[in-house]
Amino acid sequence: MPAPAIVWFRLDLRLADNPALAAAVTHGGPVIPVYIHDPEAEGGWKPGGASDWWLHHALEDLAARLEKAGSPLVVRKGESLKELQKLVEETGADLVVWNRRHEPAVVARDTLVKTKLRNAGLKAESFNGNLLHEPHLVKNLSGNPFQVFTPFWKNCLANLKFGEPLKAPRKLTPPGKAPKSVALKELSLLPKIKWDVQMREAWEPTRAGGEKRLKEFVAKAMKAYPTDRDIPKIDGTSRLSPYLHFGQVSPLEIVDAVRSAGGLGLKGGDKFVAEVGWREFGHHLLHHFPETTDRPLRREFEKFPWAPDKKLLRAWQRGRTGYPVVDAGMRQLWATGWMHNRVRMIAASVLVKHFLQPWQAGSKWFWDTLVDADLASNTLGWQWAGGCGADAAPYFRVFNPVLQGLKFDPDGEYVRRWVPELAKVPAEWIHEPWNAPMHVLAEAGVQLGKDYPAPLVSLEAGRDRALAAFKDLRG
């Protein structure tokens, strides 16, 4: 029998459509699945508490599935290269396989791992298991990376053939002797205080949970997706982003589900697949412009006159800005680890435009609080909001949170759900309670400045300050 093969799991916590796992099975010997907890390898972007919460449950689920398939998950913590080398010595493995990631610090780590293992006489191979189309393969006519989404995605669709997802192996051959493994609880991924109650109610962070969400979405919500995706009070989005980030569901499985439901070529299906394309675009940009996690892609914005203010930032983080739709989103984020995408755009705009806070501050908060915190997507979104990235909304385009609220939450149901102190304010005033007549607020039991804050920065003053700062930048 061939020597064992080690499968190094990372953000690909599934058995189906996993090319690294498939390669280990094809190798013909025992398969040793391993997860190594190595947060230092993430550089300055160690996962936040919400991500750790999801990771714990995803690993728990993966371990159960591998146990059922016949080869238990080995859990280690420490430096990835050293733990892999130890595992090779313990098991006699001659092959180490994994699926590629594209975060800058991880790429550097993985390159070192591959070099060291190969220099030691081992076979070390990596695969594309996390994207539809790898970043280095997509180039414009000049041979350069794209910086605008539409031509990027057209290029991908023209050159990409959606294949069939790989089936999960039914049976894995275990090693003769089980390698040492630490208990999952030793990774300390779960909160020490129980702040995750609503997260547990909101999510099923397992492979089965992801499959269920995908199946229900393509069956019930995909057709109306182009319009319903912007309405925060309804379940009009797929909510698959955390499953995608942790690799419990692959992007190809999503496309295949849309295709199987007859959605490709239809408005709803194509719009939804294009959102998977935005994820691809984020990874494309991160691969080619790794410095953009902290620095603007449009370098002139390095001189932008931000006005950092800890009190404003803290109020935004706590959902106490005085703009109800923003505060609803920020509270939804804190409670569930997720925020509706339309509300993310509004909340981000208010932070960087009306409050004039650096986009990096918002990026770091989302990174720490989102269960779907993905470095590529997070960077893309915040640079878009800040007007300083690829495909950026012009900086002078300032979202008006009142108009946005009236358009996408006209009856105020979303706001009432997450800002209960405004629950009795009539719909016509719920997005601008500071303009409501005194008797209306009194009847609703709201005293501005006590029960709920007035806007910390007025709409007009915030917009004017943002535009003045942009004018100064342009000189």
**H-helix or E-strand containing 8?**
strand 5-9
Mean of the pLDDT values across residues 346-369?
Answer: 97
Strand partners, 7: 33, 97
- pLDDT of 171 higher than 90: yes
pLDDT in the model for residue 160: 84
In the predicted model, what is the mean pLDDT of the chain? 95
Residue type for 432, please?
Answer: E
What pLDDT, in 10s, does the model give residues 292-325? 999 999 999 999 999 999 999 999 999 999 999 9
From the candidates 125, 134, 275, 421, which is the catalytic residue? Answer: 275
- pLDDT of 431 higher than 90: yes
Query: Helix, strand, or coil here: 32?
Result: strand
236: confidence class by pLDDT, cuts 50, 70, 90: very high
**Crossing angle of helices 267-288/251-260, nearest 10°?**
160
Is it true that domain 5-130 has CATH number 3.40.190.10?
no
- Is 275 among the catalytic positions? yes
Same fold? 5-130, 299-474: no
Mean of the pLDDT values across residues 158-168?
Answer: 92
- pLDDT of 475 higher than 70: no
Contacts with 321 (C-beta within 8 Å, 6 or more apart), sequence order: 315, 327, 330, 350, 355, 453, 455, 456
Residue ranges of domains in the chain = 5-130, 131-165+207-288, 299-474
- pLDDT of 285 higher than 90: yes
161: confidence class by pLDDT, cuts 50, 70, 90: confident
**Crossing angle of helices 359-369/310-318, nearest 10°?**
40
Query: Helix, strand, or coil here: 124?
Result: strand
- Is 418 among the catalytic positions? no
- pLDDT of 226 higher than 70: yes
pLDDT in the model for residue 189: 96
Mean of the pLDDT values across residues 40-68?
Answer: 96
From the candidates 79, 125, 278, 428, which is the catalytic residue? Answer: 278
Q: Pick the range with the lowest mean pLDDT from 249-253, 393-397, 447-451.
A: 393-397
Query: What residue ranges in 102-231 does DSSP mark as E strands?
Result: 123-127
pLDDT in the model for residue 394: 74
- Is 382 among the catalytic positions? yes
From the candidates 42, 125, 306, 434, which is the catalytic residue? Answer: 306
pLDDT in the model for residue 195: 86
pLDDT in the model for residue 4: 98
What pLDDT, in 10s, does the model give residues 86-112? 999 999 999 999 999 999 999 999 999
Contacts with 167 (C-beta within 8 Å, 6 or more apart), sequence order: 16
- Is 359 among the catalytic positions? yes
Is it true that domain 131-165+207-288 has CATH number 1.25.40.80?
yes
pLDDT in the model for residue 392: 67
Between 372 and 193, whose confidence is greater? 372
Mean of the pLDDT values across residues 249-273?
Answer: 96
pLDDT in the model for residue 271: 97
53: confidence class by pLDDT, cuts 50, 70, 90: very high
From the candidates 53, 382, 384, 418, which is the catalytic residue? Answer: 382
- pLDDT of 415 higher than 90: yes
Mean of the pLDDT values across residues 432-452?
Answer: 97
- pLDDT of 222 higher than 80: yes
CATH fold for the domain made of 299-474: DNA Cyclobutane Dipyrimidine Photolyase, subunit A; domain 3 (1.10.579)
- Is 278 among the catalytic positions? yes
Mean of the pLDDT values across residues 322-330?
Answer: 98
- Is 203 among the catalytic positions? no
